[in-house]
Amino acid sequence: MIRLNIETIKRNTTEAVERLYISGVEQYYDGIRDEIIDKSQNGFNYLQVDFKDTGYPPTLEIRIINQLVEILRADGFNIQNPRVDDETRTFYYIIIHWS
């Protein structure tokens, strides 16, 4: 497990929190929604989203994913198993299961 440098997190927290609440979810939502629709039409039953280049500390990326899951569920998507890859602490996934 990679230990995060607390000073790095402190430096990034203010900007990251602002981005989370202002555009952290919205900047991903349309593209993710379109990808979900496209994959469902092509018979896929999952979606893998890579958040590694966002610059967010992992705890805030997890909050973004949780907000995305909430919004997608509100739009009628069946999301049964959102998860984070704990081993790498870099790749974050939303797994979509279609009923």
**SS3 state at 9:** helix
**Residue-number span of the structural domain to which 86 is assigned:** 6-93
Question: Whole-model pTM?
Answer: 0.54
* pLDDT over 70 (residue 68): yes
Is residue 99 included in any domain, yes or no?
Answer: no
Is residue 1 included in any domain, yes or no?
Answer: no
Is residue 29 included in any domain, yes or no?
Answer: yes
Q: Which of 60-64, 74-78, 91-95 has the lowest mean pLDDT?
A: 91-95
pLDDT for the residue numbered 75: 76
* pLDDT over 60 (residue 19): no
Nearest to 13 by CA among 44, 55, 53, 70: 55
When divided into structural domains, the chain yields a total of 1
pLDDT for the residue numbered 25: 65
The answer to whether the CB of 79 falls within 8 A of the CB of 32 is no
The answer to whether the CB of 57 falls within 8 A of the CB of 4 is yes
Query: pLDDT band for position 38 (50/70/90)?
Result: confident
